[in-house]
Amino acid sequence: MNRIIDTSPEAIGGKRRQGQASLYECAGKRLKKQKHLYLVLDDWSKGFTIHKIDDDGNHSDLRKPGVLRVNTPVPGRCMTFDAIGSNIFIITNPRCGLTPSLIYDTEAAGLAVGPPRPEPLLGDNNNTSIGTADTLYAFQHFITDPQQFLKVMSWGPTDNDDPWAERPTMDWRWQSVESPWPFANNEIIASYALHPDGRTIFFSAHSKYVNPRPKSIRTFSFDTKQCRWRSHGEWSLPFKGQGYFDTMLDAWVGLNMDGYVCSCQVASRSSTSQSPPDCQMLQERLLCNPPNTRFPTPKATLTHVGNDAKFCLAECVLREGDDAFGRDGCVLHITTFGLKYSHKGELQTMNRINNSYTVSKHAPLFSPVAFWM
């Protein structure tokens, strides 16, 4: 007969000292991976730097070289940075279809070479992406062809099944989604968010602005497993760009066009509505500068840093005068904060921490990019 022997200090006559953890407790802590904030800045004269910031909010090492520096082939021009899981995808020259991508594995601290960006996604400012657990979905921000397809980046098998061949059997690759856009020509993807089911992406689009409001607004969802679009009505998600689902708030959170943090209820995947989901907006603006719609300037970046309603807002404010670029060319404001609903149902901040740093800036239109992984 097998016996289970308890070897804990209490069972063998000893006492557990204060602060002493069991073997199982220690193992559980090791299994829980610690996440970090990875912040991408154009603070290097030869390219871009990826900084790794601890969860304690200590940003004192922003002056250091960072975990990775990437040379830019064209000085002053932006790169693009996307994320899947623990990997950061880097396109060093978004205008060139022959330039391979770089893939930085944050867990292994290793760098690999990936496929170049597909031709429909070439360009500096007309591309956006959103990731699921293991897949990156990329699309054009301004729709010029109603029959264009979503482009998908994922890790999968190649057409080579020989493990001893020079070509790998598994690799990163781009594919097209065999389901054309439901949007019309010249519409603009204004906002998007991943549903908490992890497989459905919501998109809101509007036509060109007319006096000065959009002519039409529509929201669709895309089921990434079934490759199927669904219409949800003539309304728009309240934020601009990407929204993030938070389990504690049970809502999507993002920045609206005026730079205010807002939240809204998650839309139903299976119904159509004539009105948008209920929305709440912070009464205080966390940005130092309101968004500039007349002139192109770096934009603020909102990042979800955990499912406990915690967020990070990174904003780069250019210095005025002749020293607006180059060394110490901007002030980087990093605000970490939590969100909660008051007893009246109003959205409020909590545990807010503001930090500001003078950093160099070498790509005038590059906005800070942040990933929580």
Which of 126, 76, 71, 137 is closest to 99 using CA atoms?
A: 71
Helix H or strand E encompassing 230: strand 228-233
Q: What is the pLDDT of residue 183?
A: 86
Q: What is the pLDDT of residue 49?
A: 95
Per-residue pLDDT 10s for the chain (373 aa) are: 444 334 344 444 444 444 444 444 444 444 467 889 999 999 988 999 999 987 665 555 677 779 999 998 877 788 899 999 899 999 988 888 888 899 999 999 999 999 998 887 887 666 889 988 889 999 888 887 766 668 899 988 777 666 666 667 778 889 888 888 888 888 889 999 999 999 999 999 988 765 555 568 899 999 999 999 999 999 999 999 999 999 999 999 999 988 999 999 999 998 888 889 999 999 998 988 776 655 556 789 999 998 789 999 999 988 776 455 566 778 899 999 999 999 999 999 999 999 888 888 888 888 999 999 9
Give backbone dihedrals phi and psi of 345, rounded to 5 degrees, phi first: 85, 15
pLDDT, tens only, 115-134: 998 887 887 666 889 988 88
Strand partners of residue 334: 314, 355
* Whether the bond into 290 is cis, omega within 30 of 0: no
Count of C-beta atoms within a 10 Å radius of residue 353 = 11
Distance CA 94, CA 101 (A): 10
In contact, 39 and 49? CB cutoff 8 Å: no
Which amino acid is located at 108 in the chain? A
Give the largest Cα separation in the chain, rounded: 83
Distance CA 368, CA 37 (A): 12
Distance CA 42, CA 45 (A): 8
In contact, 358 and 290? CB cutoff 8 Å: no
Give backbone dihedrals phi and psi of 352, rounded to 5 degrees, phi first: -80, 135
Which amino acid is located at 217 in the chain? I
Helix H or strand E encompassing 26: helix 23-31
Which amino acid is located at 144 in the chain? T
Distance CA 46, CA 301 (A): 23
Strand partners of residue 358: 331
Q: What is the pLDDT of residue 215?
A: 64
Structure tokens at 323: 């020293």
pTM for the structure as a whole: 0.84
Q: What is the pLDDT of residue 293?
A: 55
Q: What is the pLDDT of residue 19?
A: 43
β-pairing, 228-233 with 347-361? unpaired
